[in-house]
A and B are shown apart, each in its own frame.
Chain A
């Protein structure tokens, strides 16, 4: 047995001697922060994206590949606001990396830079899987992306001062082009103002607040509780008195309740990418919002996605 342990330790020591690359290793909890870190970091960072737009980020397994990446990270960029509470604590406990432990300088929470919406006034599990600090899906409003970009630039400069000039230059370029892009999206999305919609999950508070879209119902009776037949029927009844134009859902969400609703209510559906990679052409952050607005406008014109 002792021989076995000794052999394993020796083998492990041989593995560690692999030279680490010079770039700052960024562990991005969600694809939007991965894309943002790549934009701001350029060649100065190597980015690992832990989850994809096709996964429900509430329910990620702290799987071995994530623990191995956490161990090697110099900076972790996550949403925070308890979005990752089901798996991040396990990564931090198993990942043995004090550099990115929550509270350390190498741990960055995007939600700290923005004004949170839907902060609950009471905390009770009978209300479903509520987030005490507010709705964590902040990336659906591009103005939040701009705020996070500024804070993330400061963080990159702090942990990797040697490349400070590069981070600042890329941020300036990004901030300028982003402001123009936001104006473009707002002009295109003007017809969406005041439009009533049904959401699959309460994922879109920030998008709706930005574009002036009205949410009349959600397919989930409570956040995180899969829609039951009885609740879908209730939503259908609500739509008789408060008609909505479309059902909005994310790429990772179950299509079946959405199809049930669009079929019976005779309305369109809009499948939004939610995060970079959730649809073709959304690997970059600009593509994410281009496609989001195109699909909303399509659904308004009766074309489902």
Chain B
């Protein structure tokens, strides 16, 4: 026995002590008194039994009615589930998955274009299997006056970039609208389209060479749409100038400005068209060219780009479901002048530079049966550059190499399992690099979109 049990035994003795003392003081009860006590106990017992029984009945009743409520409950639960709730205000969220396979007949250690200085992020897709950019798009009306759109792109190696984050007005009068934040510029035709909406795996050469694949920047856009049956709109954008061909230091003030005008309409029942004229003036201040980490050169100067674009879409009776075709082309004219610094860290090794560059692409895409399309694209660039001190085998030398005109042919076919998934094969012969290097390229690409129905743009 433990000490603990002794203690308990002792406590019990102490507790019972007064009772024992009391019993010892009283005289023993008579048989009559005993009988009376027994009767009282019996009465008490039956009384409690009755009460217990009543309680048991009430409990049982409560339980059965609760069960009945539980059985009846699912119907209202379903009804409330579809009722508007906080979740109904969630913005539209969509996720774009992109990836594939690339094979090049020539190594791409120096993916230059003869006669042009490239911006960063203009490298072709890595060879072999690879993931492209994963895009997360979120959009919603903010209130009765504003709509917001954000596209975050996640690079395959990690790291999130803000591709677009803009707010546009909904209720300005007289056909005006304002957009502000970061957005793809409305210059050209393909520029405002997200990469997953392109008809080919890669951007046209003019976009790669003169706009660093796509012009997106921080700023404000003002656009006005005419109240006419023929579509006519004009707009201008005031930009920070952080993106190629602007860029570099001292981004105070407005360092890039654009203007654009679009005209469009129908051509009979089967066709529709749009023509565009746009201009970009960009101010660069020691802007690195090529690789961001190891810039070959920096550029100080001005870049003026004019774009003429046109698109024609055809479908029998305007019904694109079975067969349709899209023909598009853009012509770029650029004039640049300024100074190039070949050795930014060392002695100021300045080269005066004036460049007149042009280029175009034309492409046609034909859907010959539901889900299947084929497309052909031709790209061409011309340069006429005047570069002082073009040291052989340097980036300056590649810029001065304006004798041959970079060009490329691309052939593609794609299959769309639904509006939400597309698989593409593209073959290209690329002769855009210095020394007339011919590169035969093969691409396989998938583009899948999750979430709400994508809104197409013309």
Partner of B319, one of A54, A62, A69: A54
**Cβ A90 vs Cβ B456 within 8 A:** yes
- How distant is the Cα of A20 from the Cα of B229 in the complex, in angstroms? 12
**Cβ B319 vs Cβ A68 within 8 A:** no
Write the nearest CB–CB distance from A34 to chain B, whole angstroms: 15
Instruction: List residues of chain B with CB within 8 A of the CB of A68.
Output: 225-226, 228-232, 264-265
Partner of B172, one of A4, A8, A72, A96: A96
Partner of A93, one of B168, B231, B277: B168
B404 at the interface (CB under 8 A from A): no
**Cβ B259 vs Cβ A1 within 8 A:** yes
B453 at the interface (CB under 8 A from A): yes
Q: Which chain A residue shows the least CB distance to B322?
A: A254
B170 at the interface (CB under 8 A from A): yes
Give the contacts of A75-95 with B (CB-CB under 8 A). 82, 85-87, 89-90, 93-95
Instruction: Check A61/B458 contact, CB under 8 A, given A8-B234, A125-B420.
Output: yes
Instruction: List residues of chain B with CB within 8 A of the CB of A101.
Output: 170-171
**Cβ A128 vs Cβ B418 within 8 A:** yes
- How distant is the Cα of A16 from the Cα of B173 in the complex, in angstroms? 13
Contact pattern, A 2-34, Cβ under 8 Å of B = 1, otherwise 0: 101100110010011010100000000000000
Instruction: Check A63/B264 contact, CB under 8 A, given A9-B234, A129-B418.
Output: yes
**Cβ B318 vs Cβ A67 within 8 A:** no
A39 at the interface (CB under 8 A from B): no
Give the contacts of B204-239 with A (CB-CB under 8 A). 223-232, 234, 236
Instruction: List residues of chain A with CB within 8 A of the CB of B173.
Output: 98
A224 at the interface (CB under 8 A from B): yes
**Cβ A98 vs Cβ B170 within 8 A:** yes
Residue of B177, B224, B226 with most partner-chain A CB within 10 A:
B226
Instruction: Check A86/B456 contact, CB under 8 A, given A20-B227, A68-B229, A71-B175.
Output: yes
B321 at the interface (CB under 8 A from A): yes
- How distant is the Cα of A155 from the Cα of B86 in the complex, in angstroms? 29
Give the contacts of A31-87 with B (CB-CB under 8 A). 51-52, 54-56, 59, 61-65, 67-69, 71-72, 82, 85-87
Write the nearest CB–CB distance from B186 to chain A, whole angstroms: 10
**Cβ A97 vs Cβ B456 within 8 A:** no
Q: Chain B interface: which size bin?
A: 35 or more
Partner of A61, one of B141, B234, B272: B272
**Cβ A5 vs Cβ B170 within 8 A:** no
- How distant is the Cα of A5 from the Cα of B187 in the complex, in angstroms? 13
Residue of A18, A51, A63, A86 with most partner-chain B CB within 10 A:
A63
Instruction: List residues of chain B with CB within 8 A of the CB of A87.
Output: 455-456
- How distant is the Cα of A55 from the Cα of B313 in the complex, in angstroms? 15
Partner of A64, one of B168, B224, B272, B281: B272
- How distant is the Cα of A8 from the Cα of B225 in the complex, in angstroms? 12
A226 at the interface (CB under 8 A from B): yes
Write the nearest CB–CB distance from B361 to chain A, whole angstroms: 21
- How distant is the Cα of A12 from the Cα of B370 in the complex, in angstroms? 40
Instruction: Check A59/B418 contact, CB under 8 A, given A9-B234, A226-B370.
Output: no
Write the nearest CB–CB distance from A115 to chain B, whole angstroms: 15
**Cβ B317 vs Cβ A55 within 8 A:** yes
B371 at the interface (CB under 8 A from A): yes
- How distant is the Cα of A129 from the Cα of B449 in the complex, in angstroms? 13
**Cβ A18 vs Cβ B228 within 8 A:** yes
Partner of A15, one of B232, B320, B321, B450: B232
- How distant is the Cα of A63 from the Cα of B269 in the complex, in angstroms? 12
B457 at the interface (CB under 8 A from A): yes
Partner of B318, one of A55, A93, A98, A225: A55
Instruction: Check A82/B453 contact, CB under 8 A, given A56-B321, A93-B168.
Output: yes
**Cβ A16 vs Cβ B226 within 8 A:** yes
Q: Which chain A residue shows the least CB distance to B280?
A: A1
Instruction: List residues of chain B with CB within 8 A of the CB of A12.
Output: 224, 226, 232, 234
A178 at the interface (CB under 8 A from B): no
Instruction: List residues of chain A with CB within 8 A of the CB of B228.
Output: 15-16, 18, 68, 72
Q: Which chain B residue shows the least CB distance to A2?
A: B259
Write the nearest CB–CB distance from A48 to chain B, whole angstroms: 9
Q: Which chain A residue shows the least CB distance to B306?
A: A1
Instruction: List residues of chain A with CB within 8 A of the CB of B274.
Output: 64
Instruction: List residues of chain A with CB within 8 A of the CB of B170.
Output: 98, 101
B337 at the interface (CB under 8 A from A): no
- How distant is the Cα of A101 from the Cα of B419 in the complex, in angstroms? 26
Instruction: Check A252/B321 contact, CB under 8 A, given A1-B281, A64-B262, A86-B453.
Output: yes
**Cβ A225 vs Cβ B418 within 8 A:** yes
**Cβ B418 vs Cβ A94 within 8 A:** no
- How distant is the Cα of A90 from the Cα of B192 in the complex, in angstroms? 13
- How distant is the Cα of A214 from the Cα of B106 in the complex, in angstroms? 62
Contact pattern, A 244-282, Cβ under 8 Å of B = 1, otherwise 0: 000000001110000000000000000000000000000
- How distant is the Cα of A95 from the Cα of B170 in the complex, in angstroms? 10
Instruction: List residues of chain B with CB within 8 A of the CB of A61.
Output: 272, 313, 320, 456, 458
**Cβ A90 vs Cβ B455 within 8 A:** yes
Q: Which chain A residue shows the least CB distance to B313?
A: A61
Instruction: List residues of chain A with CB within 8 A of the CB of B229.
Output: 65, 68-69, 72
Instruction: List residues of chain B with CB within 8 A of the CB of A63.
Output: 264, 266, 272, 313, 458
Residue of A5, A20, A254 with most partner-chain B CB within 10 A:
A5
- How distant is the Cα of A59 from the Cα of B321 in the complex, in angstroms? 7
Write the nearest CB–CB distance from B259 to chain A, whole angstroms: 5
Instruction: Check A71/B370 contact, CB under 8 A, given A54-B317, A82-B453.
Output: no
B158 at the interface (CB under 8 A from A): no
Write the nearest CB–CB distance from A215 to chain B, whole angstroms: 21
Instruction: List residues of chain A with CB within 8 A of the CB of B175.
Output: 71, 96-97
Instruction: List residues of chain A with CB within 8 A of the CB of B319.
Output: 54-56, 59, 252
Instruction: Check A65/B265 contact, CB under 8 A, given A8-B234, A12-B232.
Output: yes
B176 at the interface (CB under 8 A from A): yes
Instruction: Check A5/B259 contact, CB under 8 A, given A56-B319, A65-B264, A226-B370.
Output: yes
**Cβ A64 vs Cβ B458 within 8 A:** yes
Write the nearest CB–CB distance from A18 to chain B, whole angstroms: 7
- How distant is the Cα of A83 from the Cα of B168 in the complex, in angstroms? 24
Instruction: List residues of chain A with CB within 8 A of the CB of B452.
Output: 85
Instruction: List residues of chain B with CB within 8 A of the CB of A64.
Output: 231, 262-265, 272-274, 458
B279 at the interface (CB under 8 A from A): yes
Contact pattern, B 419-435, Cβ under 8 Å of A = 1, otherwise 0: 11000000000000000
* 5 A-B pairs with the lowest CB-CB distances in the bound complex, closest first: A64-B264, A64-B231, A98-B171, A54-B317, A226-B370
16 contacts between A and B (CB under 8 A): A1-B259, A1-B279, A5-B236, A16-B227, A20-B227, A54-B318, A55-B319, A63-B264, A64-B458, A67-B264, A72-B229, A86-B419, A87-B456, A103-B144, A226-B371, A254-B370
Beyond A61-B456, A71-B175, A252-B319, 4 additional pairs, beta carbon < 8 A: A59-B321, A68-B226, A90-B455, A252-B317
